[in-house]
Amino acid sequence: MGEGPPAPVSCHGMRTCADEDLLAGIRAGDPAALEDLYGRTRDRLFTVLRRMGADPETAEDLVHETYLRIWNRRDQLPAVASPVAYLCTTARRLWINQREHRTFLRRLMDGLARRPRPSAPTIDREDIDRALAALDEPVREAFTLHRYGGLSYRDVADAQGVAVKTVEARMKRAFDELRLRLRNERTTT
């Protein structure tokens, strides 16, 4: 009789070690393992995020961010009994962080909208985008990851491969330069 592929080794009841093996491959830096894990679990993760209340676009973004985070932190990836549960937990935390960030921004914007404002020129989204585009790439990336991506300074440092102090300096520089550029924008309008 012809020999087929070896039978999967049982890890937990009816499950196989395939997903656990993929995590080991990711820990070892194998991008193919990440692609395989993505292919096996992406739809399930998307469904979980949708069921938690994320709209389709946000769910898609969070799915990609989950796998990006797994890859960027592969050297810290723990051995887990259920890789799918680990992915779902990571995605859930990202969803909660994003929701809290959106709630904070909405409250902040509502509070600002209620304040009586002198008739000063307004700064619109295009002004902010121009100011951001003028920042050096590492500074803009750090600012974007932190402010729009919701990543902590430690996470930004890991993503950029720099020290946390470097991220702190980049954030200070970003705030200083944005404040100056937007102030100049306000006075020229």
The pLDDT of residue 67: 94
Question: Region 80-93: what's the mean pLDDT?
Answer: 86
pTM across the whole model: 0.48
- The answer to which of 51-55, 58-62, 113-117, 181-185 has the lowest mean pLDDT is 113-117
Separation CA 23–CA 91 (nearest Å): 16
Separation CA 142–CA 173 (nearest Å): 10
The pLDDT of residue 5: 40
User: Residue 179's pLDDT band (boundaries 50, 70, 90)?
Assistant: confident
Separation CA 126–CA 108 (nearest Å): 20
The pLDDT of residue 16: 45
The pLDDT of residue 132: 84
The pLDDT of residue 158: 83
Question: Residues with Cβ < 8 Å from 42, sequence gap 6 or more?
Answer: 63, 67
Question: Region 92-111: what's the mean pLDDT?
Answer: 79
Question: Region 145-162: what's the mean pLDDT?
Answer: 84
Residue percentage of the chain with pLDDT more than 70:
81
Question: Region 19-39: what's the mean pLDDT?
Answer: 88
Q: What is the CA radius of gyration of the chain?
A: 22
User: Residue 37's pLDDT band (boundaries 50, 70, 90)?
Assistant: very high
Separation CA 80–CA 117 (nearest Å): 53
Bridge-based pairing state of the strands 10-12 and 15-16? antiparallel
The pLDDT of residue 121: 59
* Largest Cα span, the chain: 86
Question: If you write DSSP's letter for every residue of 10-65 in order, what string do you get?
Answer: EEETTEESHHHHHHHHHHTT-HHHHHHHHHHHHHHHHHHHHHTT--HHHHHHHHHH
Q: Which domains does the chain have, with CATH numbers?
A: 8-116 (1.10.1740.10), 118-189 (1.10.10.10)
Q: Which of 29-33, 113-117, 125-129 has the highest mean pLDDT?
A: 29-33
Residue 5: strand, helix, or coil? coil
How do residues 41-61 score in pLDDT, each as one tens digit? 999 999 988 888 888 999 999
> Residue 23 in contact with residue 44, Cβ under 8 Å?
no
The pLDDT of residue 184: 77
Question: Residues with Cβ < 8 Å from 45, sequence gap 6 or more?
Answer: 63, 66, 87, 88, 91
The Cα angle at residue 19 between residues 18 and 24, in degrees rounded to 5 = 95
With 80 as the cut, is the pLDDT of residue 153 above it? Answer: yes
